[in-house]
Amino acid sequence: MSHRASSLSEPVSAPPEAALHVRPAFVLLFAVIPDIAAKHPKMPIGLQPIPDDLSQSYRGQLEDLQQRLLGEPYLQARRLRRTSVGRLILQGAQDEPTHADIHLVVHKSGALVWEVWLAPPAQAINVSEWIRWLDMEVEGSVARNIWHALNPVDGDHKHEPEMTLPLAVLRAPDATLDQLLARHGHDLVKLLHRDVSPERFKPSFVREQLAADFCRHEQGMSLVARNGAIDVHGQSAALEGTPLPQSTLPLLVTLELLCLERAVLRSFLNRFTRGVYGTTEDLIQLRRDIFDGLEEYYGTLAKTHGYTAEATALGESMFGINDLFDSVVERLDALTFEITTRNQQAVNHLGFWLTTSFGAIETGFVAAGIATWYCASNLWAVLAWTLGVTAATALVISGLLKWKMKA
């Protein structure tokens, strides 16, 4: 009797909370500058074709979105070209993606972005494992293996992407966004920053990061950081799009443009570091290319819809695009000065020779008139006198002009 009474008085432990499962998808963006892209024009080999329904869905959704997001004039300029490249089969463990669908986005400048879509099976939230998949620094990671397939080592030349940006897309079928954040807010911030350290973030930092959400959809959250981006939705029965949700595509297109603009700016900066060489026509063409390449920065990206405006502003700051832009503009001013200086020198040289030529010719005419008075019967003497005076005058005038220009 006493044993039963004591057992009844013991507290009953609550059953363990069931793991929260989500439907994850990831997009890896590898940006490549035009110089490197031009050296490796070959497509990766050993790929399987992407199923037609997925490829058509990709093109249809992206083209429709670009029409609304970027506008008809931008599309007519044909600044971007999209290609479905193929499917790479992955030999991963359980819960890892079994394949990667690879697409290629090429900018008019020659910069490109490899766009790799990964769709692992539904699983419990495990950000440490996901970060390991996406970490380019980990040999044998999913991201590293895919990059090796896209960019095989060419002898001693090993090229790294100008920028690697993963986008994590999470859909929770059985939980609201608030429930998801209450249980895994810290984990999502870890995933956003791809932080693999065992230390926990401060609660204030987690709240600050989650408050930077710019998604305007109910039950949705979109965040961008220097090392990645995430798009999370609660109470979502499935990934409504194939293979990505329609609601994620505006963020994806914005990230693509940011990656391309960084690659374009880096390419221009690399050209300046080699010095300002070539003819004046070469420099003018370089300046024209720079103005054309900056369209995404001062044109299209500045006019994106409100839904992606915050992502654009954050990305330009976090990805160092603003700093690269300022550096390019600073060197562009120096390039403009060099072109102006060369043009002024050309004008000065032209004026120098015109002054010398006309002065010598005019003196020659006078000398010819004088010579005919004394040597009217000897034309060869007149000609010699005229040429001699003309040459002497040219030497005197050019000498005086050079002395004046140096003074």
Q: Is the pLDDT of residue 397 over 70?
A: no
- Give the SS3 label for residue 46: coil
Give the number of residues written for the chain.
407
E strand map for 62-142: 80-89, 99-107, 112-118, 123-124
pLDDT band at 341 (very low <50, low <70, confident <90, very high): low
**Do 250 and 65 meet the contact criterion of CB atoms below 8 Å apart?**
yes
CA distance 37 to 3: 78
Output the pLDDT for position 94: 80
Distances (CA, A) of 301 to 260, 261, 294, 329, 368: 11, 10, 10, 17, 70
| Percent of the chain surpassing pLDDT 90 | 25
Q: Is the pLDDT of residue 162 over 70?
A: yes
Task: Identify the residue with better confidence: 334 or 359.
Answer: 334
Q: Is the pLDDT of residue 136 over 50?
A: yes
CA distance 249 to 247: 6
CA distance 219 to 186: 18
Min mean pLDDT across 20-24, 38-42, 46-50 is at 38-42
Mean pLDDT of all residues in 306-335 = 78
pLDDT band at 83 (very low <50, low <70, confident <90, very high): confident
Task: Identify the residue with better confidence: 327 or 381.
Answer: 327
